[in-house]
Amino acid sequence: MSKISVIGTGFIARGLINLLHENPKHELIKILTRTKINERVDVPYSDLLTNSLDELIEKSDLIVECTGDPIYACESIDKIMKAGIPVVTMNAEFQVTVGSFFADKGLISEAEGDQPGVLAMLHEEAISMGFKPLVYGNMKGYLNLHPKLEDMEFWADKQNYSIDMTTSFTDGTKVQIEQTLVANGLNLGIAQQGLIGLEDDDTWHGGTMLAQKAKELGYPISDYLLSPKLRPGVFIVAEHTVNQAEGLRNYKMGDGPFYTLDRPYHLCYFEIIKTIDRLLEGRGVLLNNGTHPSISTVTIAKRDLKPGETIKKGIGSFEVRGEAAEIKKHPGHVPIGLMYDVTVRKPVVEGQILTFDDVEIPDSLALEAWKTIEKRVFEG
């Protein structure tokens, strides 16, 4: 029986904790939290809570990190990987910010369940069947680049999410982060800064339009469709050889030349265990951000910012949002995953991409890791 520990006590972590406790193949060992243990009555199996990362490292065969905090995750994962313990993340924010720093330092993989991991799984299936993917798509139901606080408070309460998580879903930062990870992890490009985000209620029709764009560009792309009618899942649009057209037509895949493979659901923490099994069984990494990423999620000002203003947390804030963009086109940009406890140094106008000259960022291992990644990218 494998000994598994979890870092985090949010919605994803709590669901996984319950599943692990019921799983006959795994033993839930410890749950790491930064909060006061005696106050966490909301966490199942609270007797397993600890504030000691060393305790997890000492007792675990594998550790799952799902805090959504790139800065904290960077510190924790650095120590875990130095101890030679495999890591599964459901933390795309960590992956696109500093995951490339760790990609060649041990066994670390993003999990199935969130859209990037499910797209990686669908990619494996598509390739094994001989398809040649052109579009790796996310399905997003709603977008508002400038949501209001009162609206986010309402929906956060209704959905039992934090306000910042709800805001990052609404203003598109989350989907931009997810598709950045997909692009880097599967060696794709993007069609434009901020992605296309085509509004279409039909994955076949919208996917075909994105595939035509990919053909024009000459490379496969990471993007998304926007529709309140689509279920929250993923899709791949691909080509196949001409001699398979009849078979694909018989299986109701259409006349080609583009074929849509969709998975109209993703079950987040329910699917993490599949990636835990994958790593422990020696089947290799499902998805990471690659050692030489080409895409970053840059920080975009939602409004004019004045010197002296502070931003406690960029992801899910009302000051900034994230957009996927090519790293080499934006030297010196600040990835939104580094926007924690930041002070504005220079006037910034709405819509501007923030650079390290514009803000003062506290020293951290994550900041050092990003600088290493950026240098690696520009030096090739």
Q: Does 176 lie in the same domain as 52? A: no
Q: Does 135 lie in the same domain as 97? A: no
CATH number, domain with residue 328: 3.90.1210.10
Q: Does residue 191 lie within any of the structural domains?
A: yes
Q: Does 90 lie in the same domain as 164? A: no
Closest to 232 (Cα-Cα) out of 262, 206, 182, 266: 266
How far apart CA 146 and CA 301 sit, in angstroms, is 11
Given this model, what pLDDT does residue 380 score?
Answer: 80
Q: Name, in order, each residue with C-beta under 8 angstroms of 211's C-beta and a sequence gap of 6 or more.
A: 134, 135, 237, 258
- The domain boundary residue, chosen from 79, 111, 143: 111
Q: Does residue 284 lie within any of the structural domains?
A: no
Q: Does 46 lie in the same domain as 99? A: yes
Q: Band the pLDDT of 319: cuts 50, 70, 90.
A: very high
Residue range 299-315: average pLDDT? 97
Residue range 195-221: average pLDDT? 97
Residue range 314-338: average pLDDT? 98
Residue range 359-374: average pLDDT? 98
Q: Does 142 lie in the same domain as 198? A: yes
Q: How far is CA 216 from the centre of its chain?
A: 27
Q: Band the pLDDT of 359: cuts 50, 70, 90.
A: very high
Contact 145, 317 (CB under 8 A): no
Q: Does 127 lie in the same domain as 92? A: no
Average pLDDT of the chain is 97
Q: Does residue 277 lie within any of the structural domains?
A: no
Given this model, what pLDDT does residue 65 score?
Answer: 98
Q: Does 107 lie in the same domain as 123? A: no
Q: Does 100 lie in the same domain as 122? A: no
Q: Does 361 lie in the same domain as 338? A: yes
Q: Does residue 8 lie within any of the structural domains?
A: yes
How far apart CA 172 and CA 154 sit, in angstroms, is 18
Q: Does residue 222 lie within any of the structural domains?
A: yes
Block residue for tokens 């409004």: 303
Q: Does residue 332 lie within any of the structural domains?
A: yes
Domain count, the chain: 3
% pLDDT > 90, the chain: 98
Q: What is the DSSP letter of 99?
A: I
Q: Does 119 lie in the same domain as 98? A: no
How far apart CA 232 and CA 248 sit, in angstroms, is 25
How far apart CA 339 and CA 115 sit, in angstroms, is 23
Question: What's the CA angle centered on 184, arms 218 and 352, to 5 degrees?
Answer: 90
Q: Does 244 lie in the same domain as 333? A: no
The sign of the dihedral angle between the CA atoms of 165, 169, 173, 179 is: positive
- The domain boundary residue, chosen from 111, 140, 169: 111
pTM: 0.97
- The domain boundary residue, chosen from 263, 286, 313: 263
Q: Does residue 275 lie within any of the structural domains?
A: no
pLDDT per position as a tens digit, 119-170: 999 999 999 999 999 999 999 999 999 999 999 999 999 888 899 999 999 9
Block residue for tokens 């397993």: 48
CATH number, domain with residue 21: 3.40.50.720
Q: What is the DSSP letter of 338?
A: G
Tell me the residue range of the domain where 333 lies.
295-379
pLDDT per position as a tens digit, 8-17: 999 999 999 9
Residue range 310-333: average pLDDT? 97
Q: Does residue 271 lie within any of the structural domains?
A: no
Given this model, what pLDDT does residue 160 score?
Answer: 83
Contact 289, 117 (CB under 8 A): no
Q: Does 208 lie in the same domain as 99? A: no
Block residue for tokens 């020293």: 363
Query: CA dist 199 to 72, 94, 144, 180, 213, Å?
Result: 36, 28, 13, 19, 15
Q: Within a 10 A sphere around the Cβ of 162, how many other Cβ atoms?
A: 15
> Phi, psi (5° rounding) for residue 314?
-70, -45
Residue range 53-57: average pLDDT? 98
